[in-house]
Amino acid sequence: MTQRAARHRFAYLPFAGGPRMCVGAGFAMTQMTIVVAVLARRFRLRLAADHPVVPLGRISLHPDGGLHVTVERRSVVA
């Protein structure tokens, strides 16, 4: 067995955390916050009535099969 095969597949995460964390992570989070705020101001997201939300627990909780929504443009943007 080679050294690579013996190593756990998540043993080396150079951009995930610690001293080698991605230098742009803070900027990316700020940018995504702004994008979500702009989209929430201009559009309304509503859950699709014909697709139930079924929680699926893994490492984190998320909807099984995705989250189906309809997108509506808001009529008045303040």
DSSP 24-49: THHHHHHHHHHHHHHHHHHEEEEE-T
- pTM (2 decimals)? 0.55
Q: Give the residue ranges of the chain where pLDDT is below 70.
A: 1, 4, 9-20, 77-78
Contact residues for 21 (Cβ-Cβ < 8 A; gap 6+): 15
DSSP-derived letter for residue 19 is G
Q: Residue 70: what pLDDT?
A: 92
**Would you give the DSSP letter of residue 7?**
S
Work out the percent of the chain whose per-residue pLDDT is above 70.
79
Query: What are the respective helix, strand and coil percentages of the chain, to the nearest 5?
Result: 30, 20, 45
Q: Residue 71's pLDDT is what?
A: 92
